Amino acid sequence: MPQPETQTAAERLDLVRTALARSAALGGRKADAVELIAISKTHEAGAILPVLEAGQRSFGENRVQEAEAKWPALKALYPDVRLHLVGQLQSNKAAQAVALFDAIHGVDRPSLVTALAAAMAAAGKRPDCYVQVNIGEEPQKGGCAIADLPGLLDQARGAGLPVVGLMAVPPADVEPAPYFALLAEQAKRHGLDGLSMGMSGDYETAALIGATCVRVGTALFGGRR
């Protein structure tokens, strides 16, 4: 099979969209039930433009500073872009994140909820928020513990954050399906429809289990620098 580096952006995008549609159908859903987020972190504008030109409009970045350096100019060319912050967010960057992003996927602690609520009130802008869950109970990863999820959701909702779903990254090198299913169960338990889960190696499994957005980088851009 051709590697991402030897295909055009349009070819890579078509392959991923086709696979997503197939998995969504197997799960009893339509293709447009899953938002494909192209993870453009570490990639410069020259690598992102062909993906934009191929029709992709949802992109994800890990760092506020990196996104600030490249996305204002790109969004001026493509104002319908939807930009997601998928990495961990420092509380002191909350105002910048609210100004630039349309969705924030890493809400994982009370101090960040407080900072985001203040930033949204000041800016008059309310990006969608996903609460990140440490679904595999891994100490090196961000996300709140499952046991702390009810309290964090109560705080976020009480502070007026538009919480639309949950986000998680399963442990590496293990079967991800049980972790995706656990996240889906938690979302259902707390009355949430959004599920941000699945990356280049497992997005098809995630879509089958109920992901509403998948975060795909390598399959679209090739290996990161």
Query: pTM for this one?
Result: 0.94
User: Residue 222 has what pLDDT?
Assistant: 79
Amino acid letter for position 10: A
User: Residue 1 has what pLDDT?
Assistant: 41
User: Residue 2 has what pLDDT?
Assistant: 47
Neighbours of 97 (CB within 10 A): 23
Q: Are 137 and 121 in contact (CB under 8 A)?
A: no
- What is the sign of the dihedral through the CA atoms of 97, 101, 105 and 110? positive
Tokens of residue 111, six digits: 């101090």
Amino acid letter for position 28: G
Q: Residue 170: is it exposed, middle or buried by C-beta count within 10 angstroms (0-12/13-18/19+)?
A: buried
Q: Residue 206 forms beta bridges with which residues? A: none
User: Residue 4 has what pLDDT?
Assistant: 52
H/E stretch holding 171 reads none
Mean pLDDT in consecutive groups of 10 residues from the start of the chain, 225 residues: 70 96 95 96 95 97 96 96 96 97 97 98 98 94 95 98 98 95 98 97 97 96 70
CA–CA separation, 211 and 175 (whole Å): 16
CA–CA separation, 115 and 106 (whole Å): 13
Amino acid letter for position 167: M
Q: How distant, in Å, are the alpha carbons of 16, 17, 38, 69 from that of 187? A: 25, 25, 23, 34
CA–CA separation, 115 and 32 (whole Å): 33
Identify the structural domains of the chain with CATH numbers, from first to last. 4-221 (3.20.20.10)
